[in-house]
Structure 1
């Protein structure tokens, strides 16, 4: 399909470059990272579309271009480098040098910050899932359950209360440094969620009004979408170290994989796939909620990536199957 021509070209070039410098071993690892990133991010594409379709075309294009650059350079490189720099005595430049020249040592530092990163991403995804569950809906997948929760979103910050209770339960089961790191990650994640969902819009509106600019809602939506998209990146970024400690291979593999995610998002948006499968949006959000919960549980009891991705893909597949059954019944 035409949507995937550019990612295919970039992936081919990227794999060839890695093969030239690192041989077949590096090329195979790059392909593996592309596949992992693409498979783990199916729910990411669907959730992004639900936000993206409400935005002006200008910001839709920005998300597909500048948003991809932010996802690759920002979340796959600058963010983990910043975390390592903040938790060690190295400055930012020294950490970058460490990442490129001493991959194994850099990997150890990132693994040391894994709890903070995972808990931040997990609580943000849980908040996204709960917010959808509590929102008013016109379409129900599990009607008996969803109707009981519907309307809860009208209570001020109720999703934050629920997420805080979940994180507290996990925190109680931990001790020492793991408990402290989980607390830092969860509290930071909740704070960022509150800022991007409640404060960013007002700040952007005020700035645009003062500067005489239009499309403030599109800009605030773009900022929220970038944070939402970033929350899906943490498990893939950390998991990439299980494949290779070499930052160059990691950036190319995850970057090309992110390109496929953007292409999938564009395909879902332009072809109206969300409208064709009425329960797909539900499935994606519940997959995100389950992934966030499993990431938090994984801090105490390690959960393999195959399990987390399998559960997420299973929920999405079930939502697609339910949508097809509904469409067939409607056609009769």
Structure 2
């Protein structure tokens, strides 16, 4: 019998610590160059720190869902996601995505959008704020499909909140039930909006739903194509695309909400980029330590957090909800699911030993 050794948990965060040090130094430098005062420098340094903490708190569930998908992927594709994927997450979602929104909303070129971000941060922030409604509707619908697909699964036999999950598993045989639920909730929320906003909300939510379905279909097609050449290949390019879109949906709320703390695109990119590195580190640790197998309800907590986040994104099209509340709510759910898992392990030591053997 071979003994599998794992790194100490703190060692998984080595690169995250390095990026944190570099990011905070860049934030301080940016603060000094833009304000020329110690107080201004400390203010921007503090904002970068808060943004990083906010991103980490919002992304606990993201890391758990990533780990859940990664454990089905081949080592090659795991490595690709944890290298290329983090580059796309940091630079694509935290820098390119906000620029792309302004490019589309203001009908200007990418260079002009970058200049606008640097020279007129107030106008840049206003355009981003105006684009919040369709972004929240799109991301909310996509994440709602992610959460519902986990619970509406007839093969799911481990239930945390049994009276909810048993019913969901029972009705999972009804074809398209997740789509029906998302469409019903979308129409209900659209009635709370007025005029053109209602139509924009419905259209964006439908695009989010279609994006989920297309990613699922495309992922299945791509992975099936790979299996024709290698039967052992599982969770390749299709799973990679799924995780990238999932990460983007998680990032929508954080990127838009970050403009409430700072209107400087580069300060936001540094703060959220630091947080994204911790998400990567947590994902690797969860996969290599087999944490999801050791704590049976941890995934449940993450997917409940996703469902709540999706509803919050819908609600935010009508009322403002501070991102701190969103992050703490998700972290609290995951904490309760972890506590429930630990209690179950204490009461059932033999099944745990078999799962971790």
TM-score by length of 1: 0.94
Q: How does 1:240-259 map to 2 (within 5 A)?
A: 240-259=258-277
Matched, 1:189 2:198: no
- Other-structure match for 2:241: 223
1:14 aligns with 2:23: yes
Q: Whole-Å Cα distance in 2 between the matches of residues 213 and 133 of structure 1?
A: 28
Correspondence for 1:165: 184
**Cross-structure match for 1:138:** 157
What aligned pairs does 1:275-286 form with structure 2 within 5 A after superposition?
Answer: 275-286=293-304
Residue equivalent to 1:34: 52
RMSD over aligned Cα, in angstroms?
Answer: 2.1
How many Å separate the matches in 2 of 1:14 and 1:305? 22
CA-to-partner distance for each residue in 1:16-48, whole Å, 9 max, x for gaps?
122123122222111111111111111111111
Matched pairs, number: 331
Shift of 1:78: 1.7
Q: Residue 175 of structure 2: SS of its match in structure 1?
A: coil
Return the alpha-carbon distance in structure 2 between the equivalents of residues 179 and 80 of structure 1.
Answer: 23
Cα distance in structure 1, aligned partners of 2:128 and 2:136: 11
Superposition pairs of residues 141-160 of structure 1, within 5 angstroms: 141-160=160-179
After superposition, the Cα gap between the structure-2 partners of 1:216 and 1:269, relative to the gap in structure 1 and judged at 3 Å, is: closer
With 233-242 and 140-149 compared, the bigger mean Cα shift is at 140-149
TM-score normalized with structure 2 length:
0.87
State whether residues 19 and 27 of structure 1, in contact with CA within 8 Å, keep that contact through their aligned partners in structure 2: yes
Structure of greater Rg:
2
Instruction: Give the 3 Å change call, closer, same or farther, for CA 47–217 of structure 1 in structure 2.
Output: closer
Preserved contact between residue 219 and residue 237 of structure 2 (Cα < 8 Å): no
Q: For residues 92 and 190 of structure 1, do their structure 2 counterparts lie closer, same or farther at Cα, with a shift above 3 Å needed?
A: same
3-state secondary structure, aligned to 1:232: helix
Stretch deviating more after TM superposition (176-185 or 286-295): 176-185
Structure-to-structure mapping, 1:1-332, within 5 angstroms = 1-22=10-31, 23-135=41-153, 136-203=155-222, 205-206=224-225, 215=233, 217-331=235-349
